[in-house]
């Protein structure tokens, strides 16, 4: 009975791995990209504060930028840094970034948004 269960687990594992073998050549690139994004976001999260102050200040005025922009920037900085830490911890599972834009320097004048990650 134990041999039969073991054989079923092996067959199940083969069926789960087989579809992914076609994408195996892209796996190292995706893993390295996710690790790089994670490190960059964890380190540059603090840049969200002046970025958001500038964006909100240009859009809604200086006072609004220094108050709402500051608080939003702090929240975005924490979110980007935590997202980077999560990407570092789970870099072996290639997913898309939670943060849009993926890096702080990508489209610097665009407000940061957070969404859900999807498998690549």
Q: What is the pLDDT of residues 54-79, one digit of tens each?
A: 999 999 999 999 999 999 999 999 99
Q: Which CA distances in Å does 14 have to 8, 17, 21?
A: 10, 5, 10
Higher pLDDT, 20 or 56: 56
Confidence (pTM): 0.73
- pLDDT given for residue 107 in this prediction: 83
User: Smallest Cα–Cα separation from 94: which of 41, 26, 40, 18?
Assistant: 26
88-95, Cβ contacts within 8 angstroms, sequence gap of 24 or more: 88/35, 88/38, 88/39, 88/42, 89/38, 90/34, 91/31, 91/34, 91/35, 91/38, 92/31, 93/119, 94/27, 94/30, 94/31, 94/33, 94/34, 94/119, 94/120, 95/34, 95/119, 95/120
């Amino acid at each position: 009975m134990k041999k039969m269960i073991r054989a079923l687990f092996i067959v199940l594992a083969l069926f789960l791995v087989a579809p992914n073998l076609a994408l195996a050549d892209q796996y190292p690139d995706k893993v390295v990209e996710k690790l790089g994004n994670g490190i960059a976001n964890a380190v540059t999260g603090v840049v969200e504060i002046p970025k958001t102050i500038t964006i909100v200040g240009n859009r809604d005025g200086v006072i609004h930028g220094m108050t709402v922009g500051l608080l939003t920037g702090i929240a975005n900085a924490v979110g980007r840094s935590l997202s980077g830490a999560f990407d570092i911890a789970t870099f072996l599972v290639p997913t898309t970034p939670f943060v849009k834009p993926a890096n702080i320097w990508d489209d610097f004048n665009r407000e940061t948004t957070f969404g859900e990650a999807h498998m690549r």
